[in-house]
Structure 1
């Protein structure tokens, strides 16, 4: 495996982030969700959707590169939005299908958890798609409850809300 470099996303990464996001949904979600569900999920993938320039708002978007190619991204929201102020949320961790199981997702997640720890957060929550549940379990997350994500008025996805208590470095 070639070394992966994780860095803060810049506005010029938005198209590549959307491409990684879409590829992961198309290929990795195919075993867990039907075509209609994946199409509805993909309808939410747009380059302008990623809050890359909102670090002052407690948002951190990281990208992973290998051989000058973006192979993954992750998104942390440090701010409470109806949550306890000591809890952050991992909004996304996605990896290109051809880079899965090579440590890319783990590296992104560990970096986001480090940002959360540095900000004084005590735990992290996230909502995992069916495909990602085992990955997050291997990283120490525990399932809280099954949830339904409404993608459109008539299409939803089953997912699992998960939580991890952060330890000091």
Structure 2
């Protein structure tokens, strides 16, 4: 198996990041949701990346020079509200479908936890798609309850509120 190289996402081409998100979310969401819903949700889920890259901690995962995953965390909530001391929010953790179950997601989550703890964050919150709940549970996050993620007029996606405490 090839080595996973992690590097700050702010050094990356935003188009490369958006392409990874579209590919990952597009294919993985399609497993659990109707194509029409995925088509409406995808532009909204990928849209905020440039703003978040400026104000959060993000990393890209590469194998043999190819981006195979990304993820990060922020103090700001996913809805743009100011953060609370000690609490961070996992944001846009995505793995290319061809790299699933190869350690990429685990490496990214480990980086998120390590950098968050170094910044005095003791709890991480995540709004997980239904398909990603088993991954986050395997990383030690606890399911807090079902939520409906309102992404825009007429676009809502079932999700799970999850929490990790270090």
> TM-score with structure 2 length normalisation?
0.90
Q: In 2, distance between residues paired with 1:154 and 1:46? A: 17
* CA displacement at 1:30 relative to structure 2: 1.1
Alignment of 1:30-69 (within 5 A): 30-44=30-44, 45-46=46-47, 49-54=50-55, 59-69=56-66
Alignment of 1:1-169 (within 5 A): 1-44=1-44, 45-46=46-47, 49-54=50-55, 59-79=56-76, 81=81, 83-166=83-166
Which whole-Å deviations, capped at 9, do the CAs of 1:42-78 have from their partners, x for residues lacking one? Answer: 1122486353233xxxx11110001111111102103
Cα gap change, 1:47 to 1:122, in 2 (>3 Å): closer
The gaps in structure 1 that reach 5 residues or longer are none
Q: In 1, distance between residues paired with 2:122 and 2:137? A: 18
Q: In 2, distance between residues paired with 1:84 and 1:152? A: 25
Q: In 2, distance between residues paired with 1:115 and 1:124? A: 12
Q: In 1, distance between residues paired with 2:32 and 2:60? A: 25
Preserved contact between residue 75 and residue 82 of structure 2 (Cα < 8 Å): no
The gaps in structure 2 that reach 5 residues or longer are none
Aligned length: 162
* CA displacement at 1:156 relative to structure 2: 0.7
Which whole-Å deviations, capped at 9, do the CAs of 1:94-144 have from their partners, x for residues lacking one? Answer: 001100110101100110110110011111000000110000000000011
Preserved contact between residue 71 and residue 95 of structure 1 (Cα < 8 Å): yes
Per residue, is there more helix in 1 or in 2? 2
Preserved contact between residue 25 and residue 41 of structure 1 (Cα < 8 Å): no
> TM-score with structure 1 length normalisation?
0.89
For the aligned residues, what is the CA RMSD? Answer: 1.7
SS of match in other structure, 2:110:
helix
